Structure 1
Amino acid sequence: MTLYFKNGKYTQKDEVTVSIDDRGYYFGDGVYEVIKVYGGSLYTAEEHFTRFLSSAEKIRMPLPYTVAEFTEIAERLAEDNGITEGHVYIQATRGVAPRIHNFPGEETEPMITGYAIENPRPLAKLESGVAVKTVDDIRWLRCDIKSLNLLANVMAKQEAVEAGCAEAVFIRDGIVTEGSSSNIFGVKDGILYTHPATNLILNGITRRVVLKCCAQESIGVMEETFSLDELRAMDEVFLTSTTSEITPITSIDGEQVGDGKPGPLTARLQAVFESTIGQVQQKTN
């Protein structure tokens, strides 16, 4: 029996209905978060829900729960659904109102829904790496908001999949920004490069964990823009996301990265990342 969350109540899936007048359905007027579950424990939940509230604030959509309360909701969804390796999805839209482009009145309450599912770690991809395809970044200029407006991301991902690739890498005016559902890193001469956390990318939670791991390991980091040509010349390339963790990239547009195998610095960061998972499980067990 699967438990879902809808506006303060825990219920079954067939009882979670959303009105045709929901602004998330009409406009993609909302935000979301995905929190990983390892060994039954939430990973970086505070960071995720802090960003969730920040995204909601940026689109002027007040939410009725705190970080701690959202964390409790996610914990119950994971626990009551018996999730050991998986994730919790939480979404908030501006609510149900007649279809007009401007915001509805204050009487309209946000629609908050959530669920938890099993989703095993992508161990084969973590070990062997993946191929990616570059695409033009045609998205809007507020990629720092984790909004429901993902059509450009969906189109890019589909283009990558049709090319036999696992991910699409966005290129804006010759500059590498991020993946369709990930952040992108390159390694050159032992230094890690990644696009700075501006409005042109989502500041991923796993991205932040990687930067902390680099500080812990005294690995040099350059948060600055770099071109597609510079990306192709990197010694190593990898992507990060909540569900993909630290996944090596072994080819770009059919061209081999380095020697075509996951690199040593990528493997080193994967090991440090693995230790952070263990620390979370120890705290909650």
Structure 2
Amino acid sequence: MTPDQSLVYLNGHYQPLCDAKISVLDRGFLFGDGVYEVIPSYRGRLFYLDDHLSRLAKSLNSIRMTPPHSTTQWSEIFQPLLDPTKDQYIYLQITRGVAAKRDHSFSDDLTPTIFVMSADMAPIEHLRSGTQALTIEDTRWHLCNVKATTLLANILLRQEALDQQCAEAILIKNGLVLEGAASNIFVVKDGVILTPPQASNILPGITRKVVIELIQSQRIPFQEVAISTETLDHADEIWLTSSTREIIPVTELNSRSVSSGTIGPMWHRINTLFQEKKAHD
């Protein structure tokens, strides 16, 4: 099946991707007025679905929208798009819908536009040698905890990293490490795993949550704490986490090796636990 013939869901109907159309007056198209969610599926099993849908509900509430479906209804919508023989992810986007004219103000009686598609997980690179990252000053808006479709700042920040042959931009504000442009961050220093505390300036990543659960289950020293750029520069290990890239070890930061420049033992330990959890949950 060619990509444009793949099955998608749009506003209650399944159809080939090439036939899926929205109005040019959709507020998601005009204003980026909407939210989205990315949910991994391993061999047809949705991973941490309840947590993803809980985050979706919080994002919707933050922009004054109501979740249109229950967990059961969402699961029923997703299933026809999944292949039980593949590792995939669900992309779900909800916009405020179509208004009669382009206007910054909105009414509460609009019908949301709901779009869902699936895609195969790309092979996870950099697991043998690690990846490269660079630090960039954060230029995003204040509500980074809302998974909004308005991702222009993230796109430009990550593209700056890619232009410099790095896989990710690690965002800095007021001398503190926040997260990646499309990921959360963990730092290992002197046997303690650190990650920035949850706040409005970082996304509440689901993979971040899973990793924290695994760390705590092993009673490994762990802190949710503000991380300075100095701590980052002298880290023993740096990891990036996301739903589609899982746990990525960073072995080079700003063109300098992280510690010895090889993947660290703590990453191997946590990644092994993560892979086991994927296989059984």
The verdict on a shared fold, with TM-score over 0.5 as the criterion, is yes
Shorter-normalised TM range: over 0.9
1:137 Cα offset (Å): 0.4
1:21 aligned partner: 25
2:195 aligned partner: 194
1:228 Cα offset (Å): 1.2
The one of 43, 50, 60 aligned to 2:54: 50
What does 1:64-83 correspond to in 2, within 5 Å? Answer: 64-79=68-83
Q: Distance in 2 between matches of 1:167 and 1:44?
A: 24
The one of 100, 103, 108 aligned to 2:103: 100
- Indicate the SS of the match to 2:223: strand
What does 1:34-183 correspond to in 2, within 5 Å? Answer: 34-79=38-83, 84-97=86-99, 98-106=101-109, 108-122=110-124, 124-183=125-184
Q: Distance in 1 between matches of 2:8 and 2:221?
A: 43
TM-score w.r.t. the length of structure 1 is: 0.94
1:242 Cα offset (Å): 0.4
Structure 1 counterpart of 2:194, which letter?
Y
Deviations 1:83-137 (A, max 9, x none): 611211000000011211112341x100000101112340x31232110011110
1:9 aligned partner: 13
Runs of 4+ in 1 over 3 A off after TM superposition: none
Q: Structure 2: which 5+ residue stretches go unaligned?
A: none
- Indicate the SS of the match to 1:125: coil
Q: Distance in 1 between matches of 2:231 and 2:136?
A: 16
Structure 1 counterpart of 2:60, which letter?
A
Q: Structure 1: which 5+ residue stretches go unaligned?
A: 281-285
- Indicate the SS of the match to 1:25: helix
Count how many residue pairs are aligned between Structure 1 and Structure 2. 276
- Indicate the SS of the match to 2:227: coil
Structure 2 counterpart of 1:13, which letter?
L
- Indicate the SS of the match to 1:128: coil
Q: Distance in 2 between matches of 1:83 and 1:115?
A: 17
Q: Distance in 2 between matches of 1:230 and 1:105?
A: 46
Residues 1:256 and 2:257 are matched in the alignment = yes
Computed over aligned residues only, the root mean square deviation of the Cα atoms, in angstroms, reads 1.2
What does 1:183-222 correspond to in 2, within 5 Å? Answer: 183-222=184-223
Deviations 1:160-188 (A, max 9, x none): 00000000010011110000000011001
Structure 1 residues 27 and 34: CA distance shift in structure 2, 3 A = same
CA contact (8 A) 1:171 1:177 kept: yes
Residues 1:32 and 2:36 are matched in the alignment = yes
